[in-house]
């Protein structure tokens, strides 16, 4: 953007954040090493080796821009750091007080709503505009009131609660809405429990899940090392402005758009999967549900394994010992993600399960890839103080790093013997993780079944070695005395967990961890970075590349682009996620991105991940729609990242087909079902399609952030009318599509009807999902960032 401003004859220093920006580097660590005491150190060294260029670029940014704090790698996950350290609740700017609010370039920014801070996730493009003074534009949201009553039963965790809430709210329909929690049950939930629920707002589709500030919030602020003076100021300010909830006062009448209610006493132990976060399975039904998934047709709850192959066993040798894998065998068990590692109760619970099992003589099989990746360094301190960390270590759950790992797809390779045993078979191995996302192809290419579970259940499934188990009736293992050991034998009581938390989690731990957080580590501090105003691009870099968004940019906006006789690049069904559109994890060795890297001398073991290479548009454009589990109707049932080039009938990679269309000067569109773009707030899921030449997306419905990202990149989001979709309209995707939009932006209205016609003679009406006048202005300029550049260049 600075280069673009300069090329328009203006001062590049105009591109600088106008509001405070905190940047936490947390998505680049990968679980290459596990089950060893030095795993974290080795993974961090590899992280710096792989990402040296990226980190130097970020370090350059930390000095080139004012108003910007960079928290170096190895410090934790942004949302947990925000909750424990960055969140202000009430801002104090030289004695001027106002409520804290935040937008973050990751959808789980909503975690901070558990602390009473209004926050939600946006795409990077939207955040960049906000940093530069642009207002956030959105349609006024409905507010769903979610009343909580009662108390959680013995043995039920915050994770069980959030998976239950996620299912209820996804069923109710809360996309684009705010959810506010209230009721007597609130006083039974710790702040960490609330943060767990708020964190998973994207999984239930809400813009945010908000918990107002009360005495529980204040206690947490003190626990995490905020000063008494600060906490007193927060309470006084919020009470004075009627924004503090006091349970000793008569409850106020609350008016909501719609109402929901949950008795906490009805929540039962559960997990979610095997392919979506809101597909909750009560633990008692898990064995039957797994068997049904093997039988069911391929879909969100099905793998279509023939009956005669369901008992198949692959035997192999692991480090000289006999081993075997069946359908449902657990090959990855990861305590990961800020969703749960921010909650001491479930972390201590997991450690107690590990301890009790070890004492009875039950251990995790050595070929299960186990890992512990906390969202902050405080976790290590209270696990050490409790004396429980050694038991996690002995069960293979050594700390592997402090950041997003398995949940974002940075799970690393399986052990070669395990990977080889799976390769070439139809076996469906499982991953169990304490994360928030389990979409297909995200966690690991070889785990086709992925389940979300609480940290204690992650340990339990690692001990059992399979998801094909009824914990009530079947043992998790055999003790050293030869007797069967059941889950109930190793499950700690709520009282037991609470006692350990009480004496182990101390304010001094938070203070000491965060006092030095911005000082970095030797690896970060040794990095050299330029100090210039403009970044010096290296044309040979495969990590950082000057993107083409502003090439040949003119001072005047280009106006609306015609979409005429466009071909359908891809034809999708429901629930296509941003992971499907722009994977963040593994770069497949046969993909266009891999070919690009190998042509430049990068060997496969140094590919790193799409997430780590997001600074190179050439890699990311080739990685768009490269998810190995993507289902494109043009391929008639074949799964994988390919499509049909309609004019020739050739089956090509999506990138190659898009390149052919672009070379021929032909527009493309995408057809999709409901919830298009659910999942992460990944701006590359909009940037990538733009670089592929996609001009419009026609879907049944969009997830909030992805629709906003498409609008921000100048791609036209269109919705089929209620009751209609590609199937009911008889669209095959082999037609050519013309979108009849006015040629002047002044003649276009947010949400207006737009007629789409095809060369086969079909005509149908869609709703234009540019939702505000501001988004129309962005469209006129070819996107939000060109709009900002032109605005700043003329000042």
Q: What is the DSSP string of 477-523?
A: EE-TTS-EE-HHHHPPPHHHHHHHHHHH--HHHHHHHHHTGGG--HH
Torsion from C-alpha of 459, 463, 469, 473, nearest 10 degrees: -100
238 forms beta bridges with: none
Q: Looking up tokens 């030797």, which residue turns up?
A: 522
User: Do the Cβ atoms of 587 and 556 come closer than 8 Å?
Assistant: no
**Mean pLDDT in each 10-residue stretch from start to end of the chain (795 residues)?**
92 91 90 96 93 91 90 91 95 94 92 97 87 87 96 96 96 95 94 96 94 97 96 98 91 90 98 94 98 95 96 95 96 94 96 98 96 95 97 98 89 94 95 91 91 97 98 97 97 97 96 86 88 92 93 90 96 93 88 96 90 93 94 93 97 97 97 92 92 98 93 96 96 97 94 97 97 94 92 82
102 — phi, psi (to 5°)? -155, 145
Return the CATH superfamily for domain 563-579+634-793: Aconitase, domain 4 (3.20.19.10)
Q: Which residue has the tokens 């600088």?
A: 16
Query: What's residue 410's pLDDT?
Result: 86
Contacts for 729 with CB less than 8 Å, ≥ 6 apart:
720, 762, 764
Torsion of the alpha carbons at 587, 588, 590 and 591, rounded to the nearest 10: -50
Contact 329, 190 (CB under 8 A): no
Write out the DSSP string of 361-373. Answer: T----TTSEEEE-
Say which DSSP state 85 is in. Answer: I
Residue 16: phi and psi, rounded to 5, are -160, 140
| pTM for the full predicted model | 0.90
422-434: buried (b, 16+ CB within 10 Å) or exposed (e) per residue? Answer: beeeebbbbbbbb
Residue 773: in which H helix or E strand, if any? helix 773-781
Residue 3 has a CB neighbour count (10 Å cut-off) of 16
The predicted pLDDT at position 17 comes to: 93
What 3-state class would DSSP assign to 43? helix
H helices of 132-257, in order, are 158-172, 191-199, 201-204, 215-223, 228-240
Contact 117, 111 (CB under 8 A): no
Of 677, 555, 665, 563, the closest CA to residue 625 belongs to 677
**CATH of 270-512 among 3.10.450.50, 3.40.50.720, 3.30.499.10, 2.40.280.10:** 3.30.499.10
Residues 100 and 83: their CA atoms lie apart, in Å, by 12
Q: Are 167 and 278 in contact (CB under 8 A)?
A: yes
Q: Write down the pLDDT at residue 141.
A: 93
For 76-266, give the CATH class: alpha beta
Neighbours of 451 (CB within 10 A): 25
| Distance in angstroms (rounded) separating the CA atoms of residues 546 and 708 | 24
Angle value at C-alpha 416, between 415 and 422, nearest 5 degrees: 95
**CB contact set of 232 (below 8 Å; sequence gap of 6+):** none
Sorted by where each begins, the domain ranges of the chain are 1-62+520-537, 76-266, 270-512, 563-579+634-793
- d(CA 222, CA 656) in angstroms, rounded, equals 56
Question: Which pair of structure tokens corresponds to residue 179?
Answer: 């959810």
Helices (H), 303-388: 338-341, 344-360, 378-386
pLDDT of residue 552: 86
Quote the tokens at residue 156: 């039920």
146 forms beta bridges with: 181, 260
- The token pair at 329 is 């065998």
User: Would you state the pLDDT for residue 484?
Assistant: 97
| pLDDT for res 296 | 96
Pairwise CA distance, residues 217 & 113, whole Å: 11
The alpha-carbon radius of gyration of the chain (Å, integer) is 26
The answer to whether 76-266 and 270-512 have equal CATH topology is: yes
Phi, psi of 160 (to 5 degrees): -60, -40
Q: Tell me the angle at which helices 494-504 and 344-360 cross, rounded to the nearest 10 degrees.
A: 110
Position 736 scores a pLDDT of: 98
SS3 label, residue 701: coil
């Amino acid at each position: 953007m600075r280069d673009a401003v300069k090329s328009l004859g203006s001062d590049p220093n105009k591109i600088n954040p106008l509001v405070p920006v905190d940047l936490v580097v947390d998505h680049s660590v990968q679980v290459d090493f596990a089950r060893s005491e030095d795993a974290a150190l080795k993974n961090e060294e590899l992280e710096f080796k792989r990402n040296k260029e990226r980190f130097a670029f970020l370090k350059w940014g930390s000095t080139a821009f004012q108003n910007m704090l960079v928290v170096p790698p190895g410090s934790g996950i942004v949302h947990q750091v925000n909750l424990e350290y960055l969140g202000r609740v009430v801002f104090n700017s030289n004695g001027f007080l106002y409520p804290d609010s935040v937008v973050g370039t990751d959808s789980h920014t909503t975690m901070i709503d558990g602390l009473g801070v209004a926050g939600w996730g946006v795409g990077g493009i939207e955040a960049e505009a906000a940093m530069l003074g642009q207002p956030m534009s959105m349609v006024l949201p409905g507010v769903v009131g979610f009343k909580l009553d009662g108390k959680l039963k013995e043995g039920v965790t915050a994770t069980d609660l959030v998976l239950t809430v996620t299912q209820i709210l996804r069923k109710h329909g809360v996309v684009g809405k705010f959810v506010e929690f209230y009721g007597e049950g609130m006083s039974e939930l710790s702040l960490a429990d609330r943060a767990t629920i708020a964190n998973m707002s994207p999984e239930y589709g809400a813009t945010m899940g908000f918990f107002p500030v009360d005495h529980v919030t204040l206690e947490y602020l003190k626990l995490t090392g905020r000063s008494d003076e600060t906490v007193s100021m927060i309470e006084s300010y919020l009470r004075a402005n009627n924004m503090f909830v006091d349970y000793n006062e008569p409850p106020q009448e609350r008016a909501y758009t719609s109402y929901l209610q949950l008795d906490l006493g009805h929540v039962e132990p559960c997990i979610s999967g095997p392919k979506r976060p809101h597909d909750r399975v009560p633990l008692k039904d898990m064995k039957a549900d797994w068997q049904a998934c093997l039988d069911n047709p391929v879909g969100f709850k099905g793998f279509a394994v023939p009956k005669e192959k369901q008992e198949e066993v692959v035997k192999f040798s692991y480090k000289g010992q006999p081993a075997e894998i069946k359908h449902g065998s657990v090959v990855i068990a990861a305590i990961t993600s800020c969703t749960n590692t921010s909650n001491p109760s479930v972390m201590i619970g997991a450690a107690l399960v590990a301890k009790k099992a070890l004492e009875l003589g039950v251990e995790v099989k050595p070929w299960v890839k186990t890992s512990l990746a906390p969202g902050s360094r405080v976790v290590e301190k209270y696990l050490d103080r409790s004396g429980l960390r050694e038991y996690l270590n002995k069960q293979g759950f050594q700390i592997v790093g402090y950041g997003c790992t398995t949940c974002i797809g940075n799970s690393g390779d399986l052990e070669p013997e395990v990977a080889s045993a799976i390769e070439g078979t139809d076996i469906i191995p499982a991953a169990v993780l304490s994360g928030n996302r389990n979409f297909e192809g995200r966690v690991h290419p070889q785990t086709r079944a992925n389940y979300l579970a609480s940290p204690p259940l992650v340990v339990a499934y690692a001990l059992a070695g399979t998801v094909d188990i009824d914990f009530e009736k079947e043992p998790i293992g055999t003790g050293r005395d030869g007797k069967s050991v059941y889950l109930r034998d190793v499950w700690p009581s709520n009282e037991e967990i609470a006692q350990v938390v009480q004496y182990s989690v101390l304010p001094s731990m938070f203070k000491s961890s965060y006092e030095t957080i911005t000082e970095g580590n030797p690896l970060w501090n040794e990095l050299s970075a330029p100090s210039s105003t403009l970044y010096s691009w290296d044309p040979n870099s495969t990590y950082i590349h000057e993107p083409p968004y502003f090439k040949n940019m003119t001072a005047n906006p280009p106006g609306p682009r015609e979409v005429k006789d466009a071909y359908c690049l891809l034809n999708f069904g429901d629930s296509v996620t941003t992971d499907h559109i722009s994977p963040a994890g593994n770069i497949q060795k046969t993909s266009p991105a891999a070919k690009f890297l190998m042509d430049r001398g990068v060997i496969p073991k140094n590919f790193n991940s799409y997430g780590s290479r997001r600074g190179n548009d050439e890699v990311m454009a080739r990685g768009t729609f490269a998810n190995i589990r993507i289902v494109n109707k043009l391929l008639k049932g074949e799964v994988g990242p390919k499509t049909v080039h309609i004019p020739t009938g050739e089956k090509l990679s999506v990138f190659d087909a898009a390149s052919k269309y672009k070379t021929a000067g032909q527009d493309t569109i995408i057809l999709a079902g409901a919830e298009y773009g659910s999942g992460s707030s990944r701006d590359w899921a909009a940037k990538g399609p733009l670089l592929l030449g996609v001009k419009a997306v026609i879907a049944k419905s969009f997830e909030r952030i992805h629709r906003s990202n498409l609008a921000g990149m100048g791609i036209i989001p269109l919705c089929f009318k209620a009751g209609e979709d590609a199937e009911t309209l008889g669209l095959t995707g082999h037609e050519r599509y013309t979108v009849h939009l006015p040629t002047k932006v002044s003649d276009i209205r947010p949400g207006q009807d737009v007629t789409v016609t095809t060369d086969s003679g079909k005509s149908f009406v869609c709703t234009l999902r540019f939702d505000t006048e501001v988004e129309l202005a962005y469209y006129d300029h070819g996107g939000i960032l060109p709009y900002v550049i032109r605005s700043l260049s003329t000042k």
